[in-house]
Amino acid sequence: MFGDIAMPNLVYVVVSIVLALSIHEAMHAFTAHWLGDNTAEQEGRLSLNPLRHIDPFSTVILPVITLIIFHVPILAAKPVPFNPERVKYEEFGSALIAAAGPLTNLVLAIASAVLLHGVTAGPLADFLITFIELNVVLFIFNIIPIPPLDGSRVLYAFAPEPVQRFMDQIEPYGIFLVFALVLTGVLLPLLTNLDNAILRLLP
């Protein structure tokens, strides 16, 4: 998804990651609050302040290392807590909270692509290109329907009970499964094709 990363561009990558993930997590929190749950607000997550959402290792160090080695950033922010019992519309409310994050990344990519048309070249153009690519990657990665990724929360709301039970069982190990599928290259062709398709469709 990302080609060879020159050292100066790592600054753009880190800034893009911090901004994109902070807004992603903030939208989870704002959506949960809109649906009636104040858990995120009580935890101080109802904010666009990156310091409320990022983890120094998993949000900054890990993605830089994996980007250099595998050309794919593997990253995570602090999960936004919410109480499903307080959320309106039950499982569908939880699905809305989950969908808010990746959809926000898609909107950020589209808005940045539009803005890029007004920028000819230079550092701002380089940053916008990085920001677009990173947000598309975050959108694709997070819609993978394997727990605990956001896509699984959406699938859970519409899945039959046997599938829900299976998803509950694998959730403690799901993130390791996702990382294994990415690092072994099993998911990489699919993710790359989706990434390229979305980038081609952007304005």
Q: What is the pLDDT of residues 39-59, one digit of tens each?
A: 999 999 999 999 999 888 888
Q: State residue 67's pLDDT score.
A: 77
Which residue, among 166, 35, 137, 150, has the nearest Cα to 99 in the 3D structure?
Answer: 150
The amino acid sitting at 54 is I
- DSSP letter at 78 equals P
Q: State residue 75's pLDDT score.
A: 79
- Name, in order, each residue with C-beta under 8 angstroms of 176's C-beta and a sequence gap of 6 or more: none
Q: State residue 73's pLDDT score.
A: 73
Higher-confidence residue of 81 and 183: namely: 81
Q: State residue 2's pLDDT score.
A: 57
pLDDT digits (tens, 9 = 90+) for 114-160: 999 988 789 999 999 999 999 999 999 999 999 999 999 999 999 99
Q: State residue 153's pLDDT score.
A: 94
**How confident is the prediction for the chain on average, in pLDDT?**
90
* CA-CA-CA-CA torsion sign (107, 109, 111, 113): negative
Q: Within 10 A of 196 (CB to CB), how many other CB atoms are there?
A: 12
Distance, CA of 14 to CA of 130 (rounded, Å): 10
Q: How confident is the model at residue 7 (pLDDT cuts 50, 70, 90)?
A: low
Indicate if 25 belongs to the active site.
Answer: yes
Tokens 């990558």, located at residue: 13
User: Token pair for residue 47?
Assistant: 């904010």
Judge contact between 73 and 66, C-beta under 8 A: yes
Find the catalytic residue in 25, 43, 133, 161.
Answer: 25
Q: How confident is the model at residue 88 (pLDDT cuts 50, 70, 90)?
A: very high
Judge contact between 47 and 27, C-beta under 8 A: no
Q: How confident is the model at residue 34 (pLDDT cuts 50, 70, 90)?
A: very high
pLDDT at 76 over 60: yes
User: Token pair for residue 40?
Assistant: 């995120």
Q: Within 10 A of 203 (CB to CB), how many other CB atoms are there?
A: 8
